[in-house]
Structures are given as C-alpha cells and as structure tokens.
Amino acid sequence: MKTFQYERPADADTAVALLADAPTGAYLGGGTNLVDLMKLGVAAPDLLVDVSRLPFDAVEETGTGGLRIGAAVRNSTLAVHPLVRERYPVLSQALLSGASTQLRNAATVGGNLLQRTRCPYFQDVGKPCNKRRPGTGCPAREGAHRDLAVLGASEHCVATNPSDMAVALAALDAIVDVASGHGPRRVPLTDLHRLPGDAPDRDTTLRHGELITAVELPPPMPGARSAYRKARDRASYAFALASVGAVLQVREGLVHHVRVAFGALAAKPWRARTAEEALLGEPATTASFDDAVRHELAAARPLRDNGYKVPLARRMAVSMLTELAAASAGGTP
C-alpha cells in the first residue's frame, strides 16, 4: 500500500475543500472496497478524507412522506430500519442480500454507491485492464467472463457493478444528493453510474471531489408491493450472477405502476424501461410479464460463457412480478 495523509474533517464544506485541492485524494467511507483496492495496489490515493463520521447518519421521513437516508448510515442500520422494512421491502432485502453482516456493519450508503464497478482483471495489477489502465486492453472478453456484463458493455469493458443496494434504489426512483464546491445538486440514481463506452475508467457521472450527502426516496406507491431476489453461486455471501428488484402496483387487474431493475447484468443497475413501458395498463399476468421482460432482454449481447444470465434474469423477473401481482391489493394471481 502506498503511504497517504489522513484527514477527518468535522463538516462537509471542509471535506469538499480538502479534496478539491487533492487531485489524487479520495473520500473514505466504511472502506470495505477502497481499503481492499489499496491493498491490491489498484487504488493509491495520497490523501484520504474520512467522511464516515460526518453528520449524515440519520434516516428521516421527508415532508412528502418519502425517506431521506444520510450517506454515512451503515448498510446494516438501513437494512433493519422499521420504515425501510415496512415501506421499501425491496431495499431492506437488497441490503441483506449483500456481503456479510461484518461488511454491512462497516459499509456506508455513500460508499456502497461508490464502490468500484469491477471484475477479476481490474483487481489484478499484473493483468491489462482498460478500466484500471485505459488503453491496455480487456482480457475478460476472451477470458473469464462468466460473471460479467450482458447488457450495455463495450469493446473496452464488460465489468459489472456489484451493488445490490443500488439495484433496489434504481427500482425506487431514488435521488442522490451531492455536495461540491460548486454547490449542491441532485442526481437520479439511474444517472449516477455510467456504462463504459470508450471511458471505462469512469464508473459514475460524479466529478472529482463531489461528495454524496444523502439518498432520497419518494413516498411509497399506495398498495404497491416490492421485493428483491438474487441468484448466486453459493447460498450466501457472494456477488450476484443476476438479481432483480421490482415494485408493482396493480389496479383492477391491470399494471398501474411498475419498476424493474436488474443487477449483475451491466456496469450499472439496469432499469428495464422497455419492459416497464410495455407493461403499463396491461393485465398483470405471467404472460404479460414474460412478453415485456423478453422485449427488454432482447438488447442483451452475451459473451461466450455468460449467455445463461439472460434466461436466468428473465425467469427471476417474471416469477417475481407474478408473485407481486398475486400479493397486490386487487391483483390477479
């Protein structure tokens, strides 16, 4: 690990000012990804600005009945929060699906969102990787890519974003609050992460020094049901092969509101907007769900060894939507 300076400012303004003057510095949240990457030599910041103790540790109802989640809230705290369990089960389930309790106890909400989109080649400094060293190539395309992206990848990168929480937040239309020297701004969660294109080294749309301060959820849709499901190689404590988070509101047998997001298929949580548009106003039946999800996943471009993800993700989404419809008020089983 390279040596670095450590600062723990008392407020966000100081944190932002410190990093603005340090082009190769980084914020430190729970450190569960960053410290690991520093040990591997993948990350080598010369300054860590510890933001884990900034006063962003509250989960509060908003004036409109939504929820405002401070960026320093620990993943485990958020997962078991009564309002999250009651109103946003997809988020509680996604958090509990991620990592181990030890890691969730350390990881912050802001840090979870800013963990690196990654693959085994990115983590191995002995290998070429366009994300770690732009222009060196992508061995994953011909190599070990069974776990990697089938949607939105580019010739330069096929890494996936491993966050379960972000998939749930995408399905919940979450907004991310960001502070910087240029003042605060609000970023829809679905615009926070980016597809690799020809700049796979950039995981997000944040500029250097921008600091996530909170995540805001809109009020839950009345009568809507939500859930998160994750397929993985072992029963617990593993990254997803595919995951799905969904919110469904049914009225008189018809889809009135639907959100579907996939994890582990792309470099960002994949909001299934094509499927959502196709389903609006349609009967809440397995046949409708299957048609819509097939339409969405027609965009998949699997590599040699990860084609299994497409039918896996489809079956997971269709069965989940079918179950949510059955559970919905006025839903048809």
Partner 1 sequence: MDGTSEVGLRINGKPFSRVIDNRTTLLDLLREQAGVTGPKKGCDHGQCGACTVLLDGDRRVNACLLLAVSLDGADVTTVEGLADGDRLHPVQQAFVDHDGFQCGFCTPGQICSAVAAIAEARAGWPSVVTPPDTPPGPVEPTAAEIRERMSGNLCRCGAYVNIVAAVREVAR
Q: Which is nearer to partner 1, 119 or 227 (CB)?
A: 227
Pair of tokens at residue 146: 């069974």
Q: Which is nearer to partner 1, 239 or 289 (CB)?
A: 239
Pair of tokens at residue 141: 């395309």
C-beta separation of 67 from 88 below 8 A: yes
Q: What are phi and psi of 179, to 5 degrees?
A: -110, 150
**By the criterion CB under 8 A, which residues form the site for partner 1?**
1, 3-6, 8, 28, 31-32, 35-36, 38-40, 48, 50, 52, 76, 79-80, 82, 85, 89, 92-93, 96-97, 99-103, 105-106, 227, 235-237
Q: Which is nearer to partner 1, 169 or 297 (CB)?
A: 169
What's the closest the beta carbon of residue 186 comes to partner 1, in angstroms? 28
Cβ neighbours of residue 36 closer than 8 Å, sequence gap 6 or more? none
Helix (H) or strand (E) holding 185: strand 185-188
Cβ neighbours of residue 118 closer than 8 Å, sequence gap 6 or more? 131, 159, 160, 162
Q: Which is nearer to partner 1, 1 or 287 (CB)?
A: 1
Q: Which is nearer to partner 1, 3 or 64 (CB)?
A: 3
Residues 52 and 60: their CA atoms lie apart, in Å, by 18
Q: What are phi and psi of 103, to 5 degrees?
A: -70, -40
Residues 60 and 14: their CA atoms lie apart, in Å, by 24
What's the closest the beta carbon of residue 205 comes to partner 1, in angstroms? 27
Pair of tokens at residue 226: 């939500």
What's the closest the beta carbon of residue 171 comes to partner 1, in angstroms? 16
What's the closest the beta carbon of residue 156 comes to partner 1, in angstroms? 27
Q: Which is nearer to partner 1, 92 or 213 (CB)?
A: 92
Residues 227 and 274: their CA atoms lie apart, in Å, by 20
What are the angstrom distances between the C-alpha of 324 and each of 249, 290, 296, 314? 8, 14, 19, 15
Q: Which is nearer to partner 1, 44 or 280 (CB)?
A: 44
Q: Which is nearer to partner 1, 235 or 298 (CB)?
A: 235
Q: Which is nearer to partner 1, 101 or 332 (CB)?
A: 101
Residues present in the chain in total: 333
Q: What are phi and psi of 190, to 5 degrees?
A: -70, -10
What's the closest the beta carbon of residue 327 comes to partner 1, in angstroms? 10
DSSP assignment letter at 221: P
183 class by beta-carbon count within 10 Å (0-12 exposed, 13-18 middle, 19+ buried): exposed
What's the closest the beta carbon of residue 79 comes to partner 1, in angstroms? 8
What's the closest the beta carbon of residue 236 comes to partner 1, in angstroms? 4
* β-bridge partners, 251: 254
What's the closest the beta carbon of residue 38 comes to partner 1, in angstroms? 8
What's the closest the beta carbon of residue 92 comes to partner 1, in angstroms? 7
